[in-house]
Amino acid sequence: MTSSPPRVSIIIPAYYSDATLEDCLRSLRAQTYRDFEIILINSSPEERTRHIVTSAFPEVRFQQSLTRLYPHAARNHGVSLARGQLLVFTDPDCRARSDWLARLVGACQAGHRVVGGGMELASERWFERGVHLCKFSWALSGLDAAPHWIVPSANVCFERGVWDAVGPLAGDLFCGDALLSWRAAERGYSPWFEPRAVVEHRHQGTLASFWRERLTRGREFGRVRAAFFQWSRARAALHAFLAPWLLLLVLARAGRDAWRGKWGWSYLSTLPVQFIGQLGWCLGEASAEGKAAFAGVRATPDRRGPS
């Protein structure tokens, strides 16, 4: 590491991530763009993660949290330690392609100040392909570069100035990346999707755990979206009422993106997994929006970020 600050800081949150971490860090070591540092924030109370980093990846700046941190809280802590002017986030269960960082930096040099990359899959398992399409059909690498409503925290780059204007992430939310994307767009920093900046993701769990996750996170997303955009009671009630039709719309959009992104046959073969996942999400959203319609929507305290 040189004495001058690196251009890029890559920040990784970890929690019992030792099974996939080595693959992630090896892929970062193989990047064609070299002016970067890696900061890993681990909040699991075990020594395996520390051992992996200190024994095989001494270039990584390892920080052990004494308390459990949600992923976005860990990312915020990583930013406080970062020296780079470009803040890049990925996850320990992601494997970056060798030109990943070069593509993100190139998009920033082209004038985009918030850049999300393409999400592909590091597995051929049928179940994981269905989960991946539920979560990332809109971010497949075969799609076109374009402005995006949301960019995923598993593959995103923020210029430091933008982060200072709209950050930090909401550390207690799983949909904090969506909230930060909306804040950035509101301030004039429309997130840009660069599909060629690819990380390959892994998805853990079972169908039952996937259902619970989608239901819970759909509920959180529905609550946060209604508050951020200050939906009226009537709009929240209408959206909740239309949940069955929205499920069909979401599946149709996923199919469109899958065929454009060269995932068409995977889309057809994994429809049962996608149906369950999207049903859970839509029901979660509907329950949050129904509550908002009944109780009234209040803006979240961090709606516009720091002033």
Number of H helices, E strands in the chain: 12, 9
Quick one: pLDDT at residue 307? 29
Rounded-to-integer distance, Cα 266 and Cα 248, Å: 18
Which class is domain 8-201?
Answer: alpha beta
Which ranges of the chain have pLDDT less than 50?
Answer: 1-2, 299, 301, 303-307
Task: Write the pLDDT tens digit of every residue in 232-259.
Answer: 999 999 999 998 899 999 999 999 999 9
Q: What is the pLDDT of residue 294?
A: 83
pTM for the model: 0.94
303: its two tokens: 């709606």
**Beta-sheet pairing, 61-64 with 36-42:** parallel
What is the per-residue pLDDT for 295?
A: 79
Q: Where in the chain is the domain with CATH 3.90.550.10?
A: 8-201
CA contacts within 13 A on the Cβ side of 252: 6
